[in-house]
Amino acid sequence: MGAVPVLDSFSVPGTISITQEEVCFHKNFISSTETGTKPFSVLFVCLGNICRSPTAEVVFREIVKRRGLDSKFKVDSAGTIDYHDTYFIFIDRIEKKRWWDHGSGECVDECTCCIVYLYLTRDRSSDDQERKQMAESSAAQETALFTPYKMGRFKLSHRIVLAPMTRCRALNGIPQAANVEYYKQRATPGGFLITEGTTISPTAAGFPHVPGIYTDDQREAWKMVVDAVHSKGSLIFCQLWHVGRASHQVYQPGGTSSPISSTSKPISGRWRILMPDGSYSKYPTPRALATTEIPEVVAHYRQATLNAVRAGFDGIEIHGAHGYLIDQFLKDGINDRTDHYGGSTDNRCKFLSQVVRAVVSAIGPDRVGVRISPAIDHLEATDSDPASLGLAVIDKLNWLQREMGKLAYLHVTQPRYTAYGQTESGQHGSEEEEARMMRTWRKAYDGTFICSGGYNRELGMEAVAQGDADLVSYGRLFISNPDLVTRFRLNAPLNREPTRTVDTIRSSLGI
């Protein structure tokens, strides 16, 4: 086959005229003997605004006609070739300075027109099959959050979970009508809600007006919430919470006792605690629990679990994350104990293990979830090796599951959550490093895995579709969008969170 003639210039009447300024022509084109045995295609590529108009197709077809390419090769319109499926044999580049639109008399763009001759590595049927698979994969990702899921004994109709969020709406620790409305608004058939942190004992609070689950009045008030959620066909777990050193004397019995913790090290002055009157104060110095006191705290978790089930909750979540009491035992940046609850990673996991055993003994494993945040430094909860800590906790939970039976789930917060609101997507920092760490934990855990932390609709769809999570929990998006499940399903616009007022004490904003 001889050389393909170079197009010097042409004009498509009433549309585009092209005047060539430079032609780069590859002299070592494929020989005529190979042309008949190898599948070739021609692709028109134009860098510039013309690609985004029907004019591109007109120009392409004129080039094909002038060069007689349609008699020698299979010709494709611009953009129909998958680059990763091809090998570039030859490129004929014509650089243009002006593409004139005769209709307006104006220059459309300065751009480069490329005629690309491609050797296809697969036959057309293979390409069509892959395109079909890619389309199916794309469709699967678009619906990933709305596929059913079986979480142990529980059947869910979608993968969107309401994450626990402190609301400061429970006057004197007792859920109110606003709490009932808040959870009812966000309940959907086959949905799954996790309550705000709910204190397990009088020493456990660190915020004003947070609910408890250790008195009869609290338990009875929670029944109204649970009944409202169940009436919508949704599940609801109660998150059991002890803040540890993240408290103040004003929240302790008598108003004078020091908060308890794994350590006597206080949270530094750069952090402030919200007081009952709406002001902020420094965190006080905590009191390190004596070894002999720890079993009593474990017993409080067990009793709170029983109270939750008596209130009608479908299960409970152990809050072992975000710098609160259990996390204060897990993280080596806080835990400086010299007894068998400190030192090695195994020792630092002991308190969590004992709590898990206690609550499982009360209601069984399949109604118990655990939340952790190995890589979160909230309230100075740092660890020298968060990736290894996460694996150690997961290994301990897997071992407990082999002994006691499968837990309902593991709920893990990604570090990205701390920067949510700084960007539209919620992404920040070493996103790929965080993603790898989450995938490692997800693969290591033997059971249902819930991810959390600045996820939007697209990131949630991707996480489930790629197997990085079974369920995705959403927090702040649920505050301003009680109908988040419906909005996600329709891909409808979201209300933005009014960040300055949404956490006002006793405010009804966001319910």
Cβ neighbours of 144 (radius 10 Å): 20
Asked if residues 214 and 199 have their Cβ atoms less than 8 Å apart, the reply is: yes
Asked if residues 247 and 259 have their Cβ atoms less than 8 Å apart, the reply is: yes
Q: How many CA atoms lie within 13 A of 274 on its CB side?
A: 13
Q: Assess whether 251 carries a catalytic annotation.
A: no
Give the CA diameter of the chain: 97
Unique residue bearing structure tokens 């042409």: 10
Cβ neighbours of 154 (radius 10 Å): 18
The residue ranges of DSSP E strands in 201-330, in sequence order, are 235-241, 260-261, 272-274, 280-282, 287-288, 315-320
Please tell me which residue in 251, 283, 324, 445 is annotated as part of the active site. Answer: 324
Reduced to 3 DSSP states, what percent helix, strand and coil does the chain have, rounded to the nearest 5?
A: 40, 20, 40
Q: What tokens were used for 332?
A: 């080596």
Paired residues of 120 in beta bridges: 86
Q: Starting at the edge strand that comes first in sequence, how are the strands of the sheet with 16-19 ordered?
A: 9-12, 16-19, 99-101, 106-107
Which helix (H) or strand (E) segment holds residue 22: the answer is strand 22-24
CA distances, 349 to each of 47, 124, 278, 396, 445 (Å): 58, 57, 35, 8, 16
C-alpha gyration radius of the chain: 31
| Angstrom distance (rounded) from CA 62 to CA 195 | 65
DSSP three-state, residue 10: strand
| Angstrom distance (rounded) from CA 213 to CA 86 | 63
**Catalytic (active-site) positions:** 324
